Structure 1
Amino acid sequence: MRRRKIAFSMLIAIVLSAVSFISNAQDTKSISYELRMPEPETHFFEVGMTINNVLTNPKIIDKRRLLVKMPVWTPGSYLVREYAGNVENFQATDGQNKPLNFRKVNKNTWEIDIDQIEDVKISYKVYAFDLTVRTSFIDASHGYLNGASIFMFVPELMKSQADLKIYPYEKWSTISTALPETSKNTFLVKDFDTLVDSPIEIGNHEVLEFEALGIPYRIAMYSSSPLNYDKEKLIKDYKSLVIAAETVVGETPLENYLFIVHHQPGIGGGLEHLHSTTCQTSPFAYSSERAYIGLFGLLAHEYFHLWNVKRIRPVALGPFDYENENYTHMLWVAEGFTSFYEEIILNRAGLINDEDVVKAVAGALSSAESTPGNRIQAVTEASWDAWIKYYRPSENSNNTRISYYGKGGVLAALLNAKIIANTKAEKSLDDVMKLLYNKYYKALGRGYTDAEFQMAVEEIHGGSLDYFFKNYVSGTERPDYEQIYKGVGLKVIDNNEDREKPYLGITERRGMIYRMSSEGSAYHSGLSVNDQVVSIDGNKDINFANALLSKNVGEKMVVVVNRHGVEMEFTIDLQKDERKSYSLEKMTKMNKEQEKAYQKFVGK
């Protein structure tokens, strides 16, 4: 009996030991990253990457070779950027720092020989000297990282947890990121998507803090020069903005949130992330009301993305393929609807008024209708071709393309108006966003298809919108603005009737033709982009804008240009300006239903 008891006890001990081993193995992160920046003035980040337990990890099938890859693009910016081009000094060793053989097998993939190796250590440097929201940057004043442009991944381990240890430059004291900090300067990474989706600001920047809706917020304020702003007002307005944005969906899926704001001349734009955003603006963003509201429009846009795109998303946008284009026809919703909601959110936050919303809607309408490409390219096609067109504009882009941002915002406003009118102001576009959020993000845990999006809009609208989607979304037909906006108490004013002067369609820079509109008088005259202007009607000291002041429709203009060293003469027959321009005015006489619809439309 005793021996049996001893044997049984030993068996229990062995089992417990095995369980403990398995538990410890599971607790060990599959990947550990290190980030160093000992010489920021050289513009290099140094990255260390350790892949643990290669032999015992069941996710890694091939125990002879390990592939390590660099993303070629970053979510939210639909262009292949070839981040691997900035990688230098790639090295691989085993756990005892013995060099391992490796080779680069394509533009962004390194293959490492790992036969019978338990741990693999990788190191490389990344040149980072491009301060945009889509890239990374480091100099003596600060470091900024967009994860896709810095960190590599092992395809089999993209869903595995990792640690990130940051060693900031010795003169820097502050690290700002949405990643949870487990110990000093060490952060938990849920998976590779999260690492890409968590930008990092490192330096001595100021950090502002506030709480809204029970959620802590931080604002990392980097500036290349001293900023002059009212701290109390700024925090108050940030708080109003995030509270107003929450009203669209009615729920904030956050535990915390980080705004990274770069202030520097010559930069601008923003990029959304799951629990943070990076926005870039001028140091003078606080010097005037117009500049201030411009900044908050950018903040509202990027913050609203935490719902629209990061959670309410086209099915193609996640999980991501970081090596290839991820195509969708729905960027007009992802970006266009977000653009539309900028003013709605600012109005609800009390930063602008109803008239500002109407003016912005009219401005977007005029911009779209005055773009020749609006009659050539459907907004769904613009979304699909973002990878080869939107981020690679040319001098002819306006003639053949439409922005899915601007046109998408126009369509969002129209759908909002149609829903409000058809439901007697009981529902709006907000209800579409709520439906998509609750059904596809929360209940199904996935994105929506093109057809599912249309069905969601029709469900809220209370009827078919097939004609709208077929002709205005997938087609290039002019929407019936007048009839649609009448339903929310708005009158469309055609400003084209007042235009009796000719339009050349020429954009000139330093005496050279830079761009030509296909709807301008000069387009079919023989003139070409890059022609150097010698004289206009015999005058060598005048530009096109001034020369046109004394001209009328039906007259001619004689232009001499230098093209590749040869002087050439062309005659332009001056034609009426046919560009589209519209205003929206609130109807002077409205009943209670129309007034209710108008208030609903402007976001009240």
Structure 2
Amino acid sequence: MGKELEGKTISSETESKPSLQLQFEVSVFDLYKHYYQVRLTVETNQNQICFCLPNWTPGSYMIRDYATHLHKFEAINFTNQEPVSWEMVDLHRWKLNNLPPKFEITYIIYAFEDFTVRTNYLETEFGFINPPALFLYPEGRLDTPTTVEFKVSEFFPNIYTSLPRDENNFHKFYSNHFDELFDSPFHLSKKNSVFFTAGSTKHELLIEGDVSFDFKTKLSNDLQKITETQIQWMQESPNQSYLFVLNLSLPAYGGLEHKASSINYFNPELIHDDEEYKRLLELLSHEYFHLWNIKRIRPIALGPFDYQKPNLTRELWIAEGFTSFYDAYFLYHAGFLNLEEYLNKLQSDIFSLEDNDADFWMSLEESSFTAWTKYYKRNGNSHNITVSYYTKGGVLALCMNLFLLQESKDKKTIRHVFHKLNEVFVKEKQRGFTKQEFFDVTKEVTGVDLKLEFNEYLESPKPIPVDVYLDHIGIHRIQTDLVGDTGFKTKEKNGNLYVQKILHKLNYESIDLMLDDEILAINGKRATNSILQKLEKNLRPGEKFHLILSRAGKIKETMVTASGFYKTRKFVVSEDCSAEKKELREYFLRNIV
């Protein structure tokens, strides 16, 4: 039943429809103490609202408890400046009651604990804001539009983000909903950016750190080649604009993808080393490819997000693994890696999987599903029992592509599968895909049942027979110089040797050795780095050696039997192979599959 108002009937449903307007203001509370201040102005007809701070950031699969760094929460009536009633109902939620039509929330965020792409940071030269770690959202109302205005011009004249900005205020930005806000980090800087165009997209590159104009120009030109290669691979560019932020201010490594930007950290001391520069390009290539693979073409569990608990998926081998294959593959096709360098990249990943026992402990799907508690929470034994969905997923993508080249009639590959996934799930259905849907589309596009061929390597802890698939294109393994291996790695501290890593392999004997054991003597001689290196150089498989250790204040002795490994191992191109294999190899190396 409605009620009459000026001759019109207004339904109770319309009358009670909750309204909500949110305006954030971000300022520097104390630059030297690394505090941001956030002021949130709220206009509403609701009597009660819960505001929450996210627990994690999409793309970084670990609960991070961002509320740890939120302090001095307050709420006041905008009109009379009286306090608004509130209580903290759990570690990440604040419930406000008896709300006036307009009120303000203020709080302080500490931003200096970690220098990473997923945490806030504030110092005298720049500031970084990872939005899930800074902005409260109204529970159940992630669809609410927001404005964000920065009051930081006295410290940082430039604000870099992918969000649209106000035409009259370059420090004011708009988001259509919180998913967009949380996917749009802010970098506060005194530096100026450079621009380049690839495809139909205008790209912006901001480098934080002391670098020359020549370096900016070189990197900008190189990124243009990489982005053009990827756009050509996908046959479209989904963004009108894209922002690269590269922080070279402190030694660090990492990247985080976003729908229209990426945040990348790299060690400034390494950028002029040729090999390290290519590693930087590989990082940037990886994060850029994510604007398709994961930000649009994605497993169904990776959106929409619950920012309070994990979004679990068994398909990170697609989202991250395929990206890990293509990041270096694009560099090869863009001319930054020669064939030998590219093969070295491939074999480095393959050998890293073979150098431990993890393939027999964890499947690729388990690696993905447990990323929150295992891959992102590594310990001293993780290398022995934890498979990387990045590394093994990348090797799987290689093998799938080679198998498709061999079996599909028209040389259809993952590239063509991604085109179809983009068409069906991004543009038509506007959702992610299930594992079965991925394999169904692959079979539809290529005529090949990839699930039949590869599912056992997804569901079971089992090594992928890489050599079988590389043989399809006439690339084979060479292994020579079988030598002994101690089965452990050490670190030196104040001239003393300590056990840093213990390697478990099926063919290794278990040894009485623990992490942080101090090695006092090796075969009766005082342990030094040079003595250990001499042992490692001359050790033979099956040979025994004697260690004297100090453990928890006690002296221990142990005998170790050396295992074996091939000192020289590599994959090489075979000229003594069939014409069919040579043809497939040329196709793989000359065309972007």
Give the TM-score, by structure 2 length: 0.91
Q: Residue 502 of structure 2 aligns with which residue?
A: 516
Provide runs of 4+ in structure 1 moved above 4 Å: 11-15, 520-523, 589-593
**CA contact under 8 A between 2:207 and 2:245: conserved in structure 1?**
yes
Q: Residue 72 of structure 2 aligns with which residue?
A: 89
Paired with 1:354 and 1:243, the residues of 2 have a C-alpha distance of 20
Paired with 1:155 and 1:586, the residues of 2 have a C-alpha distance of 57
Q: One-letter code of the match for 1:241?
A: I
Q: Residue 390 of structure 2 aligns with which residue?
A: 405
Paired with 1:470 and 1:298, the residues of 2 have a C-alpha distance of 29
Change (3 A) 1:123 1:197: same
Paired with 1:425 and 1:490, the residues of 2 have a C-alpha distance of 20
Paired with 2:442 and 2:339, the residues of 1 have a C-alpha distance of 24
Paired with 1:520 and 1:504, the residues of 2 have a C-alpha distance of 15
Deviates more, 1:395-404 or 1:462-471: 462-471
Q: Residue 5 of structure 1 aligns with which residue?
A: none
Change (3 A) 1:167 1:271: same
- Runs of 5+ unmatched residues, structure 2: none
SS at match of 2:404: helix
Summarize the alignment of residues 202-217 of structure 1 with structure 2, pairs less than 5 Å apart. 202-217=188-203
Residue 600 of structure 1, CA deviation: 3.2
1:502 to 470, 481, 484: 484
2:514 to 510, 528, 536: 528
Total equivalences in the alignment:
572
**CA contact under 8 A between 1:40 and 1:169: conserved in structure 2?**
no
Paired with 1:465 and 1:291, the residues of 2 have a C-alpha distance of 35
Paired with 1:374 and 1:392, the residues of 2 have a C-alpha distance of 18
Paired with 2:470 and 2:536, the residues of 1 have a C-alpha distance of 36
1:320 aligns with 2:305: yes
Residue 238 of structure 1, CA deviation: 1.4
1:30 to 21, 29, 35: 21
Paired with 2:438 and 2:26, the residues of 1 have a C-alpha distance of 41
Change (3 A) 1:357 1:226: closer
Residue 409 of structure 1, CA deviation: 0.2
Q: Residue 287 of structure 1 aligns with which residue?
A: 272
Residue 587 of structure 1, CA deviation: 2.7
1:111 aligns with 2:99: no
Percent of residue pairs bearing the same amino acid type: 27
Q: One-letter code of the match for 2:125?
A: S
1:548 aligns with 2:536: yes
Q: Residue 584 of structure 2 aligns with which residue?
A: 597
Paired with 1:346 and 1:555, the residues of 2 have a C-alpha distance of 43
Residue 13 of structure 1, CA deviation: 10
Residue 506 of structure 1, CA deviation: 0.6
1:43 aligns with 2:34: yes
1:483 aligns with 2:465: no
**CA contact under 8 A between 2:51 and 2:95: conserved in structure 1?**
yes
**CA contact under 8 A between 1:70 and 1:148: conserved in structure 2?**
yes
Change (3 A) 1:444 1:390: same
2:143 to 159, 164, 167: 159
1:179 to 145, 148, 163: 163
Paired with 1:102 and 1:481, the residues of 2 have a C-alpha distance of 59
Paired with 1:215 and 1:465, the residues of 2 have a C-alpha distance of 34
Deviates more, 1:262-271 or 1:328-337: 262-271
Q: One-letter code of the match for 2:101?
A: E
Residue 355 of structure 1, CA deviation: 3.7
Residue 94 of structure 1, CA deviation: 2.1
Change (3 A) 1:524 1:420: same
Residue 137 of structure 1, CA deviation: 0.2
Q: Residue 573 of structure 2 aligns with which residue?
A: 586
Change (3 A) 1:565 1:406: same
Summarize the alignment of residues 331-410 of structure 1 with structure 2, pairs less than 5 Å apart. 331-410=316-395
SS at match of 1:527: coil
Give the TM-score, by structure 1 length: 0.90
Summarize the alignment of residues 113-152 of structure 1 with structure 2, pairs less than 5 Å apart. 113-115=97-99, 117-129=100-112, 130-152=114-136
**CA contact under 8 A between 1:135 and 1:149: conserved in structure 2?**
yes
SS at match of 1:358: helix
Paired with 1:356 and 1:382, the residues of 2 have a C-alpha distance of 28
1:300 to 266, 272, 285: 285
1:441 to 416, 426, 429: 426
Higher strand share: 2
Change (3 A) 1:149 1:202: same
Paired with 2:431 and 2:50, the residues of 1 have a C-alpha distance of 28
SS at match of 1:347: helix
1:492 aligns with 2:476: yes
**CA contact under 8 A between 2:28 and 2:37: conserved in structure 1?**
yes
- Runs of 5+ unmatched residues, structure 1: 1-10, 56-62
Q: One-letter code of the match for 2:232?
A: T
Residue 226 of structure 1, CA deviation: 4.2
Paired with 2:543 and 2:579, the residues of 1 have a C-alpha distance of 52
Paired with 1:502 and 1:476, the residues of 2 have a C-alpha distance of 27
Q: One-letter code of the match for 1:530?
A: D
